[in-house]
Each structure stands twice: as C-alpha cells, then as structure tokens.
Amino acid sequence: EAQVTQNPRYLITVTGKKLTVTCSQNMNHEYMSWYRQDPGLGLRQIYYSMNVEVTDKGDVPEGYKVSRKEKRNFPLILESPSPNQTSLYFCASSLGLAVTDTQYFGPGTRLTVL
Amino acid sequence: AQTVTQSQPEMSVQEAETVTLSCTYDTSENNYYLFWYKQPPSRQMILVIRQEAYKQQNATENRFSVNFQKAAKSFSLKISDSQLGDTAMYFCAFMSRMNRDDKIIFGKGTRLHILP
C-alpha cells in the first residue's frame, strides 16, 4: 500500500532536548516536504527536498533541520526545541512538482514542547 | 474513523466563470472544523476558508464561499469570478475538536484548471 509514515505520532518533550521526527515513503517519490499546522495559520511549509541530498527552506525553517540521505526518508530534526514549536507536523511526498503529481500526506505528529 | 472524500479529481473552467468543488466527510462527532486549502505548484499550502461546525452561517472570504450542510456532511467550495491564479490543487480537510485531538484529515484533492 502506497503510504507516508511518520513517527512518533505523539511526543511530549522539554525545552532544549533534541528530537527527530521520522518520515518515510514507499512510492519512490523524489519530492518530500514538511509542514506545520497551527490554529488560524493553516499549513506552513518548513523544508522541502527535491531529491537525495537536495533540500531547501520553506516558509518557516527557523529552528528546524532536515536531511535527505536516502530517497525514502526525510527526517525533521529539532536541535533545541522551544515551546513555540508545539504544533502538528505533517510530512508529504510526491513524484515531482508537475501539476499531475499527487501529493500524499502522512498521518501527522503532535509535538508538545514544555 | 473520520474520512474526507473529494469526488472530482480534476476540473476545468473558463476564466470569470463560477466553479464549485465538492467535499463530503464522515464523522460521528459534533464539534469539528472544516477547511479548504489551496496548493499551487510551489507546494505551499494556503488556507482558503475555514468553517466551524457549530456555526450555521456559511463562511465567506472574498470570491470564495462554502455551502456547509451539516446533516448531509457536505462542505462544497464555490469560487466566483474565477481567475487564472486560482489554478491549483484544492484540498478539503477535517479537524476534530474532541478529546483535544487536533489531527487534520485531508481529502485526496481536486485539481482545478482555470482556462484563459
């Protein structure tokens, strides 16, 4: 089954404790992206990746890092989380950026930073 | 489990026409939000309009309006006087407010082409 998986689904942590949210897709997609979803602000793009070893900043990259060492994985790294990073995070992937390329979303990761 | 269904994978209309995108959802809950997001080729996700389930009045934002039929679990988006810049993928989304679970569930999207 074609899917995007994220782990963990729920995470409560404390300020400054490094964490990683994993994202994996099984569709051999080149394009992957991370979004955060906050009330009243909709979905905002954090980082995206066009292919292995190719990443770029989205709208709200501050405080986040990503890596794309393999095509299927695109982890989101918070080196020193802060309470303003409490949010709902979505990973997504698509074959490319063509109009006909459907984007698939992961189930979301609820992060709380105390 | 909640589901969101967008039955129109792709639509095309002429510029200046009005177009309606359909969305139905399934839930047993009474307290939730519904959204329409626009996603241009850049892959940004732009919140177009939001509806709170307890509000009877349909939400409106400039040329965008919704027809929210709670009993029928239908949430269609109407775009009036369509413009070339409206060409994008549109996602309908559901968010429960029960049990403090803010997970958002997306439909598969409708690809909208506005033709000159």
Query: Which residues in chain B touch residue A88, judged by CB atoms under 8 angstroms apart?
Result: 102-104
Distances from the Cα of B94 to the Cαs of A82, B38, B74, B105, in angstroms?
28, 15, 11, 5
Query: Hey, what are B78's tokens?
Result: 């109407």
Alpha-carbon gap, residue B100 to A83, rounded angstroms = 18
Query: Hey, what are B33's tokens?
Result: 């939000």
Interface membership of B85 toward A (CB under 8 Å) = no
Q: Residue B100: what pLDDT?
A: 52
pLDDT lower than 70: segments of chain B: 42-44, 97-103
Chain A closest CA to B103's CA: distance in Å? 7
Instruction: Answer whether B103 sits within 8 Å of A43, measured CB to CB.
Output: no
Interface membership of A105 toward B (CB under 8 Å) = yes
Helix (H) or strand (E) holding B10: strand B10-14
Transcribe chain A into DSSP letters: ---EEEE-SEEEE-TT--EEEEEEESS--SEEEEEEEETTTEEEEEEEEEETTEEEE-S--TT-EE--SSSSB--EEESS--GGG-EEEEEEEES-SSTT---EE---EEEEE-
Range A66-86 average pLDDT: 97
Q: How confident is the model at residue A66 (pLDDT cuts 50, 70, 90)?
A: very high
Chain B closest CA to A45's CA: distance in Å? 6
- Among the partner-chain residues B42, B104, B108, the one whose CB lies closest to the CB of A108 is B104
Chain B closest CA to A14's CA: distance in Å? 20
**Nearest residue in A to B113, CA atom:** A99
Query: Which residues in chain B touch residue A92, judged by CB atoms under 8 angstroms apart?
Result: 43
pLDDT surpassing 80 at residue A79? yes
Are residues A85 and A113 in contact, defined by beta-carbon separation less than 8 angstroms?
yes
Q: Residue A8: what pLDDT?
A: 95
Give pLDDT tens digits for A37-46. Answer: 886 566 788 9
Alpha-carbon gap, residue B39 to A98, rounded angstroms = 12
Give the residues across from B31 on adjacent strands.
Answer: none
Give pLDDT tens digits for A92-111. Answer: 998 876 656 677 888 889 99
Flag the least confident range among A18-22, A70-74, A81-85, A106-110.
A106-110
Ramachandran region, residue B100 (left: φ > 0; alpha: ψ -120 to 50; beta: rest):
left
What is the dihedral sign for C-alpha B78, B53, A46, A104?
Answer: negative
Query: Which residues in chain B touch residue A105, judged by CB atoms under 8 angstroms apart?
Result: 106
Q: What is the mean pLDDT of chain A?
A: 90
